[in-house]
Structure 1
Amino acid sequence: MKGCESSSLLDDFLIREIRLTHDPDGRQLDSELLLRLIENVFCSTLSDVSDAQSDANNVRSIDMIGSEEPLGRTIYKISHEILHRCFEKGNFHAKTMVLLEMVSHFRWDAKVVLVLAAFITSYGIFWLIQQLKFDNVLALSLAILKRLPRDITMFDPKFKALTSLINSLVKVTKLVVMMVSLPVSHDHKAMAITNSKIYMATYWIIRSILECTSQITDLRSMRHQQVCLNAKIVAAWALYSLGNKLNSLCPDLEEQIDTSLQAKLVTIFKDKHTDNQEVLHTLFSWKIELPFKNHSSQKKIDIFELKNKIVILLISKPELLPLDKLLFLVQQTYDHPKHKQIEENYAILWVPIPSANEWSLDEKRTFEFYSSSLPWFSVRQPWALNSAVVNFIKEEWNFKEEALMVVLDENGMVTNSNAMDMVWIWGAKAFPFSISREKELWEQEKWSLELIINEISPLLTNGVEEGQNLCIYGSENIEWIREFTAKMKKIKNAGIRLQLVYVGCRNSTKQTMQNILDIINQEQLSTSLTSEKIHFFWFRLESIKRSVAHEKNTDKIAKEVAEFLDFGENKEGWAVLGRGSSTDLMKLSGENVAELFLGAIEETLKTSLPSEPGNHTDLVPYEEGLIERSVICGVCKRPMKKFVVYKCDVAAE
């Protein structure tokens, strides 16, 4: 117990000493971008592929606001000071405090990033010389001048430990940068705890950098016989020890970040913003730089790419959606006729979230496949999303396994907590996908074939737009279908322009549906939707039912769509007749649908009758039962009067 108290007391003294070195004067630095370049340099020393070139071009434009000297000079001065201190005698604590004094005028995030940049500059030059010295005379000459050993393979244990320590350095530096950007808490006690953790992390980052540099400079004076003894073991142990110290700081820092981030997420959607950048940064860019990727080029994308756009967060499981619904979603967005008109104004961002806390290998593979195949942006490393963000999505936006579309406007505010049904119903026409837009669309809609069909099929859409008489029908009884289509063909032959389309039944099995479609197509009974389109047809009607359930003044549509869905359950046979945007729809079901249509069609077509009857005669061959039926005139669309004509078929002699 006394040991713990003594350790705590020493930490308190150290924190006070560190705090006394802090004297900020308003200088500002883009720490995140500079840290990104540092990572690229480090990755390049490991021969990893990186985006160093593109980031280097961005960093050239960075400078420190409020500083009299350029960024490069500041980094050079810190690098020189680090090297100078490494050749001096004295303990590392004293040297660390000297460096803290040197960067006293910067914010805490800038302190650690600048010192790390100064170190990584020397480290990068060291490895550049090592990689080129056998092929480049200049590199070989520099290696000799710097008194670097010709063969460094004997130092492999040290470099392995050094690599591990630098990984830890970068990780903790990222956490410090994230913590500094946290919102200021009004809880003074909580803020004091946060600051203390930042102070300690900064101290150990700088102290570890001094130790790393010292180990590298020791290579210049270390002889082969020394290496063969205990030197490399002791050196590696010291580096691993510092790495463990840094790693031990991470859990507390991450917990503090999660707590603060959760508090920020609750308030950020209540505050007003000038754009969507802060919201997107809070959600996606805390742990990952360039957090998104483009589906086609797989290029890493910054949140800036989505500035001034409406962003639809497509939140789902890594498996996203069943294939048929996935294809329908693509059709309703990127393949929609309206998409070209609005594609510059909005973007869909896929945010996959697994059921468990950890991502499985299969889930990662599934994500990589879909994110490379589908036409929208996606979170580049969804498994790295902050747990506070994932919890917020589940709790605040009610994500429960079913895919949803949360819409953020250009300012990052939520305008619709789930626009999925809007997209199923209207596709890109629903832009900007807000709740107010949904109300506006329903105010414009009426129950008609146009609403029922929408953009499901060009075949149906063209017929509706042209005002054709359209009959959609369904059944699982192939004999009923044969009889119904045969009688409807006779109606068409009587002069009535009518398009007959099979759309199946609601909840039919895939196999049953496909068997019927095969027979319809082989026997040319009528035109039909594909099995995929049939599924879309009924799925979209279910979306309409859900959407109108919470809208005012849509009682008629709600009633009609509910009846239509029930109607479509009739597996024996049903049909609906209408024209274009007319609200007069005729729904019939059962065995006598075709006969009932004969009488009802007259009423349906009345609105298009000419003012005067036509003077037209049709000679129709006798057929049993024809006398009792009505025949419609092909010109004026009125019922024709019946006359009997007798013809002698006996040839004259």
Structure 2
Amino acid sequence: MNFLKSQSLCSLSNSNIQDDILMKKLLLTHDPDGRWLDSETMLHAVGNIMFHASTTQGVPSLHFTSLSKDDIYEIELLGCAEPVGSIISKISCMIMSKCSVEGDINSKTMGLFDLLGSYRWDAKVVLVIAAFAAKYGEFCGLMQLYQSNALAVSVTRLKQLPVDLRSLKPRLKALSLLVKTMMEVAKCIIKFESLPNLYTELGSDILHVTKFHIYVAVYWTTRSIFTCFSQVAEFTTKKHEQVYSDSTILAAWELSSLAYRLSSICNILKGQVDLCHQEIGRNLHNRLLSLAAEVQNDNQGFLSLLFPVKDYLPLKDCSTQEKIGVSELKNKIVVLLISKTEQLTLEESLLLVQQTYDHPLSERDSYKIIWVPLPSSDEWTDAEETRFNILSEFLPWYTVRKPRLLSLAVVKYVKEEWNYKEEPQMVVLDSNGNVINSNAIDMVKIWGPQAYPFSASKESELWQDENLTMRLLIDDINLLLAYWVEEGKDLCLYGCDNLGWIRKFNGKIEELKRQGLQLETVYVATSQLSEHVKEIMETLANEFDPSNLLLFTKLQFFWLRLESMRRSKVRLGKTSSDQVLAELSALLDMNEKNEGWVVIGRGSSSDITRLQGRQIIECLEKYEEWGDNVEALGLVGAIRNFLQPPLVEGPCSHSYLVPSSQAQVGGTVVCDVCKRTMKKYVVYV
């Protein structure tokens, strides 16, 4: 071994020993007491400050990210009575006082760690960066206002601040680069601290190495903050000719050197944190699989794995913005509404709200809905974050407070085990955390609270006794329609986007009403709602009785429910031979034929008829020929008897046996042979 190589190895060994000693001293100051700081939001606030500071005249921008909103939500600090602003001010004062006296920078740095001993590692590093950002932001704010604000001019002169920043560009650019690097380090540490408690199952080597690099990163970030404070302090403590001298180049070099060192530390730390996330992902996915296969006493274990348990209040009540822990869900049925932010449309959200939260029969205390938003890729975008904030402000359910903290392993589990197919999906967990329905969203849209407890077996049960009726088609999307259904009135739903046909139909209906026809008509447009439909609705409101017109949102509800009915039937394995499925498909496909249509029925009666536009106009024009039969046969029976006359003269002897499970207490059955209503008898066997 030559001398140079021996000396190099000796230096490296001494460096490692010194780092070990330094880190041991650092750990002696670390005594967290359970307080929790929202480090991520605070780091966003720092980014906002640096973004605006970088726009100061003469200061080059390094593309700091500014939030889409100018305001930052209140930064949370749990387990500590002292306000965040007071803590930052205390840190800033301590650093400034230590910068003003001579001394070893390492001793100064370790002294600051004594003040930060009660905080987690992510909070330590973010607090010291925030302290500098606040100080630097004040300086840059004065510089920005100097040209236009008399108060800023006076303060600048009083503090003897430099007003020409052009010669300071190298120093300010290096300063911005260092702060940006420190923020990247902080992001890595926050990412590690956000890992669920499963990180204790990591291999000892991975965990120990990662933690060691975190200690090193926190130390050098904090040490660099002292240098940053000193640089800004020089603007007021040195004469202008000294500030603008060659010392600026030396200062820029010192800042750049620190940035380079921190960048190297950050690159190593990123690799280690990524390894931890990969290992945790595998452990978490396996744990979810094993829990799903085990018998659980409650839902707490499963929900704690789904949501980030390091943040012990991972949910929020959207209606009150109150922070919620998974313990609030114990012994309750939990409905997980899973979707990407752009997939949960406004009209679909409103329908789900109506069918759950706003419904008069809703049993909100028996179950809880949690919106679980997923990103379009591995990383959340600003647009997704903005849309999440907007939706989470008006939805009445629970939601994940910080969806970006959802583990990729959880997202993978949702996609693979619950068969998530890029569409909104409702996964239902019983009180023990077992999946009782992998997608209940359609049954919720169709039946609302009647579908409780939203299990797959309940969906089959509801369809077993369900026929195509006006009650099913209309439900409670409109109070007036619901009243008409309860009253047993004859209703006519009609749809078309041909204004000429619509005018002709409505004109004929109004004429016949004056002659005694008892029929309420409701325009439902087509399944492809457009601006043209809105124009038609305005015309109808002006030319005919507007009381029977639905709001455009209610039309959206009508067609969303019909589509859900078809999907539900198909999912349950029904075929085109199923009468309800066939009728639903026909209604949904009507707009493709570009002609009018009507569906006429009464209340809960399954005796309904669907007619094309030409048929119903022909029928209405010949009302005198069949109107007298309405009292005996009912409106539907009279229309059917007119359009399809009896095949035989006089009574026929045809009989039809209806199983008791399908029998209807009310309503009528029309004979397939003579087209007359059949008499009802009960046969006991």
- TM-score normalized by the length of structure 1: 0.63
Which AA in structure 2 matches 1:16? D
Q: For residues 177 and 511 of structure 2, what CA distance do their matches in structure 1 show?
A: 83
1:166 pairs, out of 175, 179, 193, with 179
1:329 Cα offset (Å) = 4.0
Is 1:62 matched with 2:80?
yes
Is 1:32 matched with 2:41?
no
Which AA in structure 2 matches 1:561? V
1:62 Cα offset (Å) = 0.7
Q: For residues 205 and 250 of structure 2, what CA distance do their matches in structure 1 show?
A: 41
Residue 373 of structure 2 corresponds to which residue in structure 1? 351
Q: For residues 81 and 450 of structure 1, what CA distance do their matches in structure 2 show?
A: 72
| Secondary structure, counterpart of 2:578 in structure 1 | helix
The answer on whether the counterparts of 2:426 and 2:441 sit within 8 Å (CA) in structure 1 is yes
The answer on whether the counterparts of 2:574 and 2:581 sit within 8 Å (CA) in structure 1 is no
| Secondary structure, counterpart of 1:582 in structure 2 | coil
Q: For residues 564 and 552 of structure 2, what CA distance do their matches in structure 1 show?
A: 19
1:20 pairs, out of 24, 30, 53, with 24
Superposed CA offset, 1:129-153 (max 9, x none): 9999995999899x87xxx767684
2:604 pairs, out of 581, 596, 600, with 581
Q: 1:408 to 1:398 in 2, by over 3 A?
A: same
Residue 243 of structure 1 corresponds to which residue in structure 2? 259
Residue 471 of structure 2 corresponds to which residue in structure 1? 450
Residue 542 of structure 1 corresponds to which residue in structure 2? 563
Q: For residues 466 and 496 of structure 2, what CA distance do their matches in structure 1 show?
A: 28
Q: For residues 535 and 238 of structure 2, what CA distance do their matches in structure 1 show?
A: 82
Residue 213 of structure 2 corresponds to which residue in structure 1? 197
Q: For residues 513 and 629 of structure 2, what CA distance do their matches in structure 1 show?
A: 14
Q: For residues 392 and 365 of structure 1, what CA distance do their matches in structure 2 show?
A: 22
Matches within 5 A, 1:477-556: 497-501=518-522, 503=524, 536-550=557-571
Q: 1:329 to 1:82 in 2, by over 3 A?
A: closer
The answer on whether the counterparts of 2:356 and 2:362 sit within 8 Å (CA) in structure 1 is no
Q: For residues 73 and 424 of structure 2, what CA distance do their matches in structure 1 show?
A: 38
Q: 1:347 to 1:561 in 2, by over 3 A?
A: same
| Identity of matched residues, % | 29
Q: For residues 181 and 307 of structure 2, what CA distance do their matches in structure 1 show?
A: 24
The answer on whether the counterparts of 2:281 and 2:408 sit within 8 Å (CA) in structure 1 is no
Which AA in structure 2 matches 1:327? E
Q: 1:602 to 1:402 in 2, by over 3 A?
A: same
The answer on whether the counterparts of 1:470 and 1:578 sit within 8 Å (CA) in structure 2 is yes
Matches within 5 A, 1:429-444: none
1:449 Cα offset (Å) = 1.9
Which AA in structure 2 matches 1:17? I
Which AA in structure 2 matches 1:282? P
Q: 1:558 to 1:12 in 2, by over 3 A?
A: farther
Q: 1:481 to 1:457 in 2, by over 3 A?
A: same
Which AA in structure 1 matches 2:601? G
| Secondary structure, counterpart of 1:455 in structure 2 | coil
Higher mean Cα deviation, 340-349 or 179-188? Answer: 340-349
Which AA in structure 2 matches 1:242? L
Q: Which runs of 5+ in 2 are unaligned?
A: 54-65, 638-644, 651-667, 669-685
| Secondary structure, counterpart of 1:173 in structure 2 | helix
The answer on whether the counterparts of 2:355 and 2:448 sit within 8 Å (CA) in structure 1 is no
1:195 Cα offset (Å) = 2.2
1:380 Cα offset (Å) = 9.5
Q: For residues 360 and 233 of structure 1, what CA distance do their matches in structure 2 show?
A: 38
Q: For residues 14 and 601 of structure 1, what CA distance do their matches in structure 2 show?
A: 100
Residue 353 of structure 2 corresponds to which residue in structure 1? 333
Which AA in structure 1 matches 2:193? V
2:582 pairs, out of 563, 567, 581, with 563
Q: For residues 342 and 6 of structure 1, what CA distance do their matches in structure 2 show?
A: 74
Q: For residues 359 and 401 of structure 1, what CA distance do their matches in structure 2 show?
A: 16
Residue 315 of structure 1 corresponds to which residue in structure 2? 339
Which AA in structure 2 matches 1:255? D
Q: 1:160 to 1:600 in 2, by over 3 A?
A: farther
1:176 Cα offset (Å) = 1.9
Q: Which runs of 5+ in 1 are unaligned?
A: 65-69, 609-624, 631-636, 638-653
1:543 Cα offset (Å) = 0.8
Q: For residues 85 and 462 of structure 2, what CA distance do their matches in structure 1 show?
A: 54
1:239 Cα offset (Å) = 1.7
The answer on whether the counterparts of 1:161 and 1:239 sit within 8 Å (CA) in structure 2 is yes
1:236 Cα offset (Å) = 1.9
Higher mean Cα deviation, 453-462 or 486-495? Answer: 486-495
Is 1:175 matched with 2:191?
no
Q: For residues 500 and 235 of structure 2, what CA distance do their matches in structure 1 show?
A: 90
1:216 Cα offset (Å) = 4.3
The answer on whether the counterparts of 2:33 and 2:118 sit within 8 Å (CA) in structure 1 is no
1:466 Cα offset (Å) = 1.1
Q: 1:77 to 1:352 in 2, by over 3 A?
A: closer
Q: 1:221 to 1:478 in 2, by over 3 A?
A: closer
Q: For residues 127 and 540 of structure 2, what CA distance do their matches in structure 1 show?
A: 73
Residue 640 of structure 2 corresponds to which residue in structure 1? none
| Secondary structure, counterpart of 1:229 in structure 2 | coil
Superposed CA offset, 1:291-317 (max 9, x none): 99989xxx9x67549994867546236
The answer on whether the counterparts of 2:315 and 2:324 sit within 8 Å (CA) in structure 1 is no
Q: For residues 105 and 217 of structure 1, what CA distance do their matches in structure 2 show?
A: 28
Q: 1:443 to 1:102 in 2, by over 3 A?
A: same
Q: For residues 105 and 381 of structure 1, what CA distance do their matches in structure 2 show?
A: 24
Residue 649 of structure 1 corresponds to which residue in structure 2? none
Q: 1:174 to 1:449 in 2, by over 3 A?
A: same
RMSD of aligned residue pairs (Cα, Å): 6.5
Which AA in structure 2 matches 1:578? G
The answer on whether the counterparts of 1:472 and 1:577 sit within 8 Å (CA) in structure 2 is yes
1:201 Cα offset (Å) = 1.9
Q: 1:165 to 1:366 in 2, by over 3 A?
A: closer
Q: 1:331 to 1:229 in 2, by over 3 A?
A: same
Residue 679 of structure 2 corresponds to which residue in structure 1? none
Q: 1:291 to 1:484 in 2, by over 3 A?
A: closer
Count matched residues: 584
1:231 Cα offset (Å) = 1.2
| Secondary structure, counterpart of 1:470 in structure 2 | strand
The answer on whether the counterparts of 1:320 and 1:403 sit within 8 Å (CA) in structure 2 is yes
Superposed CA offset, 1:181-217 (max 9, x none): 5232422233233323323322322332333344345
1:468 Cα offset (Å) = 1.4
- TM-score normalized by the length of structure 2: 0.60
The answer on whether the counterparts of 2:39 and 2:190 sit within 8 Å (CA) in structure 1 is no
Which AA in structure 1 matches 2:581? A
Residue 463 of structure 1 corresponds to which residue in structure 2? 484
